[in-house]
Structure 1
Amino acid sequence: MKSVLYWCLLLLGLHIQGRYSSSLNDEQQKQKIHHSSEDHPQAEGENSAHVKLAPSNADFAFKFYKQIREEAGNKNIFFSPLSISTAFTMLSLGARANTLRQLHKGLAFNLTEIEKQEIHEGFQRILQLLNDPHREVQLNMGNALFIDERLKLLQKFLEDVTNFYYSSAISSNFRNPPEAIKEINKYIETKTHGKIVDLLESLDPDTVMVLVSYIFFKGYWENPFNNLNTRDSDFFLDAKNSVKVKMMHQSKNFNIHRDEELSCWVVEIPYKGNVTSLFVLPDEGTMKQVEDALLKETVSKWLQAFEKRKIYLDLPKFSISSSYDVKSLFQKMGVTELFTNQADLSGVAEETLLKVSKAIHKATVDVSENGTEAAAVTMIELVPLIAPFPPPPHIRFNRPFLMMIIDKSTDGVLFMGKIVNPAAKED
């Protein structure tokens, strides 16, 4: 009978107010990440591990998005592909045989292009870059293992998760479920600045370990919206239905691109610091066409084709939250053995055979005048030469659109989503 490894993926919200507060041994963890990052040179070439890792992480992001889309129906989508891939890659340190092969394939790692050691070194560097205290945006990412006193981790696994993923190891008493649940929920609440409370309601009786992986982002627009220009407006869910939203307005220069092939507009709205956002507005009736084409090559083409131009931009304020059963989604992506009695996680613990019983992911996002994420899409109009200065197009994000938040220092997709109803708080 295999014991259960309870795997908990957690993503905290964007644009959360509040001062960062440390708990447990997180301050030491943060210092270790900072000191490790100082050992790396600032200039890093194309052969750097995190640079080689970026295409795989992008492939996983879009593959996972399309899997969510199959089940989401007409609901909002919002998640952190980087949070999920980090957590499962961390687990892969203890996976062996076919379990490891399935994980690598599911996470889009091609071992002919990147070695296993480079994968973990890449995530190590990503964590260092994201947690740099000198960044203008507030960006923190970390991991914690809550370990039952009966479970003895292999020293190699413990060293690797600490070295590559800066994970805290916290001793917990899972034979007292209420106490363990309270401890884990407290950690989660602290890391999410009170945004996610009482996430865990119960634990499997056989649980011997819980992993929490979190990412926190708070960014301010380079050019914030003026709240005096925010007005009530209609957001059209479809041809027949609409909801009232608070619509923000801005008239400034943005990097824009019209993709004629996919029938959509793309606009980049940067944050202060080295993080940016892309918002994609498909023409009416072309959302599925754009979603089907979401690949790293597509996004790369958009980024290279940007042209700076003044636009009139309308963008709704919204605050949404989404939860996902990652276990179910991974199984449909071919990662199955990890969750069965055939799981080979023999590299994790001594004398205890493990499997993953549960994997959950929750994400929240707030978009407002000051920042977090937002973007606009605009049109480039062709006019006769006698009119060399066409009026700026007025782009209204008053129908479903896509969004991405990208960290420029790692080329990582931090967050990704589809907003079909800005008035819906949680899906």
Structure 2
Amino acid sequence: MNLVADLLCLLACLTVVTCDRVYVHPFNLFSFNESDCDKLEKLVQEGKTIVPVSIESQTTPDYEGGMNDNSKLEAPSLSTWGEKERSYLSDLVYVLGMRFYSALQKAQRGQNVLLSPTSLYSSLVSFYLGASNQTALDLQGLLGFVPPSGNPDCTSTAVGSNFLSSLRTIERLVKSGDEELLFSKTLSLFCAPGIGLFQLFMERLLPSADAFYARAVDFANPGEAAKQINAFVEAKGEGQSEARLADIDPSAQLLFAVDVRLAANVKQAFPLKEPQEFWVDSDTKVLVPMLSIMGTFKYQTDASGTFSVLEVPIGRTALLVLLQPIGGSDLEHLESQLSWQSSAWLQHLSPREIKLKLPALTLEDSSDLQELLAEMELPALLGKGADFSKISNASLTVGKVINKAFFKLGSDGTDQPEDPAAQKEDGVYLDVTLNKPFLFAVFEKQSRAMLFLGRVVNPLHED
């Protein structure tokens, strides 16, 4: 059985066994017709190429300047989406995100973990846009959607563009008009000197980030290349992002890097005056800054009483979901119980008046998609034999595919009011304290797409 069949079979099994339903492709959102294919094929055949300027260039190339002009973008909206379309895309993102989390969980045992399922998914869709033939089919299988029958090259361009645009709409909803949430995403392509990238491919990546860069780097000297890329990324991030790229393959001709960041300054969160105990394990505790949040939030414990789920709005456009082991259960047991159905995190929650205490968080983590695919026994998916003939006329060898995620949870700086629970009778508030390792996720409110997924073992360690 070939790779595509294996992947589609795996997804089907996961869907049927754990999700209790079979997804039907929402053609009204993602479909295309034969004339569209003809137009797309003509655009690819007649496509112009752009040779990126050197990473050492001090001037902004025209192709970057035009692409980073987002002033004319329409306000993001999901008004044209039905419930089926929202569920379809968010579930695809969730399933793949959980597979990547499982790979990271094994590689980073006993450590904090942070990833962005939407960012990882859109990174793969970006390569799907540039893929042809068997590579396009293999990526299609991993991404999990079942496109209309026909030319796979057309499918990757048409469906990939729609998916990438839809994912970006979801991310833009998070950052639009909400002062509590600071969201940003940067995409950088680094290619070997003299290699031309198709302008059409580069333009199709525009919807996927706030800023897009394409520069040429000499990978023949890996150490110098890593130093140049790290300096470039840090300069473009204006000191907000520290790059730690190393071990570049000198035979690589293309390196892909995404940096996604979300800082939530929650209005209803108040910093406690004194650091509080957090138990890293049964024998080790640390003192960490904690936040107190009081209000009516959705809450549940699972049927077996091994973990609790709490949903807390952060801003108008995002939900923070916290999962904590209870009843003597530990984090590894909780992770083994996670459902592959994203809506299971948010089902059967009931409103409760809750007094929540949890650590202030600053987490940053970086993963190489190539390494994650290797952990999933798919090392050849973006490997040297892959066909990316819609990225460049050159036979490209893809190097690292870096996905960096940053999440910060804090208060807006407002002082805590005097005894806000004093007006309530004792016992009205349910006390929930996250003082041992826990899991969290951030969902976009309308689509329920998972933006971030993380494990907190020690709040004092940023990664």
Mark yes or no: TM-score above 0.5.
yes
1:124 is displaced (CA, Å) by: 0.8
2:361 corresponds in structure 1 to 318
CA distance in 1, matches of 2:452, 2:192: 32
Cα deviations by residue, 1:163-221 (Å, 9 ceiling, x for unpaired): 77787453425278688656533442245441333433564433433322222223222
Task: Report which structure shows greater RCO (CA 8 Å, sep ≥6).
Answer: 1
Kept in 2, the 8 Å contact 1:252–1:312? The answer is: yes
1:274 corresponds in structure 2 to 317
Kept in 2, the 8 Å contact 1:311–1:393? The answer is: yes
- The 1:54–1:30 alpha-carbon spacing in structure 2 relative to 1, beyond 3 Å, is farther
Kept in 2, the 8 Å contact 1:80–1:363? The answer is: yes
Q: Does 1:368 align with 2:414?
A: no
Kept in 1, the 8 Å contact 2:187–2:212? The answer is: yes
Q: Aligned ranges for residues 8-23 of structure 1 at < 5 Å?
A: none
CA distance in 2, matches of 1:222, 1:162: 33
Kept in 2, the 8 Å contact 1:57–1:108? The answer is: no
CA distance in 1, matches of 2:403, 2:364: 11
TM-score (norm 1): 0.77
1:139 corresponds in structure 2 to 183
Q: Aligned ranges for residues 81-96 of structure 1 at < 5 Å?
A: 81-96=117-132
1:18 corresponds in structure 2 to none
CA distance in 1, matches of 2:82, 2:300: 27
Q: Aligned ranges for residues 174-253 of structure 1 at < 5 Å?
A: 174=218, 181=226, 184-201=229-246, 203-225=248-270, 227=271, 229-253=272-296
1:152 corresponds in structure 2 to 196
Cα deviations by residue, 1:96-120 (Å, 9 ceiling, x for unpaired): 333333323333334479x653343
2:429 corresponds in structure 1 to 392
Letter matched to residue 157 of structure 1: F
- The 1:255–1:112 alpha-carbon spacing in structure 2 relative to 1, beyond 3 Å, is farther
2:171 corresponds in structure 1 to 130
Find 1:411's aligned residue among 442, 448, 454: 448
CA distance in 2, matches of 1:166, 1:250: 31
Kept in 2, the 8 Å contact 1:275–1:405? The answer is: yes
Aligned length: 381
Q: Secondary structure at the match of 2:104?
A: helix
Q: Secondary structure at the match of 1:139?
A: strand
Find 2:439's aligned residue among 390, 399, 402: 402
Find 1:335's aligned residue among 349, 370, 378: 378
- The 1:50–1:192 alpha-carbon spacing in structure 2 relative to 1, beyond 3 Å, is farther
Find 1:264's aligned residue among 307, 313, 320: 307
1:8 corresponds in structure 2 to none
Unmatched runs of 5 consecutive residues or more in structure 1: 1-22, 372-387
1:357 corresponds in structure 2 to 399
Q: Secondary structure at the match of 1:367?
A: strand
Q: Secondary structure at the match of 1:254?
A: strand
1:44 is displaced (CA, Å) by: 1.6
Letter matched to residue 132 of structure 2: R
1:161 corresponds in structure 2 to 205
- The 1:275–1:206 alpha-carbon spacing in structure 2 relative to 1, beyond 3 Å, is same
- The 1:231–1:164 alpha-carbon spacing in structure 2 relative to 1, beyond 3 Å, is closer
Q: Secondary structure at the match of 1:331?
A: helix
Kept in 1, the 8 Å contact 2:262–2:407? The answer is: no
Q: Aligned-pair RMSD on alpha carbons?
A: 3.3
CA distance in 1, matches of 2:198, 2:230: 26
CA distance in 1, matches of 2:305, 2:108: 22
CA distance in 2, matches of 1:65, 1:202: 23
Q: Secondary structure at the match of 1:295?
A: coil
CA distance in 1, matches of 2:172, 2:220: 34
Q: Does 1:294 align with 2:330?
A: no
Q: Does 1:97 align with 2:97?
A: no
Q: Secondary structure at the match of 1:214?
A: strand
TM-score (norm 2): 0.72
1:341 is displaced (CA, Å) by: 3.4
Kept in 2, the 8 Å contact 1:148–1:172? The answer is: yes
Kept in 1, the 8 Å contact 2:255–2:400? The answer is: no
